[in-house]
Amino acid sequence: MREKELKEQLLKESEEFKKANQLHQQYEKKLDKLKAKNYLTEAEKQEEKELKKKKLALKDKMYYLMIEYKKSLK
């Protein structure tokens, strides 16, 4: 199963994956808003770092869930 198909399947079947994906998208939108600014305050720079960390952690979680799902299919 391809990665895209796997993601689509998990979005339908796994509430945990779905929530992680939604949060990942929310963090991406917040980061886009920060990137659109010409200048970031120190607080905004800190927020950007935290959002990147959280987004990466969610991506790792989603890949872990994808691997576990693939294992369960065998």
Going from N- to C-terminal start, the domains of the chain cover 3-73
Spatial CB neighbours of 37, under 8 Å, sequence gap ≥ 6: 44
Give the confidence band of 73 by pLDDT, cuts at 50, 70, 90: confident
Specify the pLDDT at position 44: 97
Give the pLDDT confidence of 26-50 residue by residue, as tens digits.
999 999 999 999 999 999 999 999 9
The CA distances from residue 54 to 3, 20, 23, 30, 71, in Å, are: 22, 10, 9, 12, 26
Look up the pTM and report it. Answer: 0.87
Give the pLDDT confidence of 3-31 residue by residue, as tens digits.
899 999 999 999 999 999 999 999 999 99
Are the CB atoms for 16 and 24 separated by under 8 Å? no
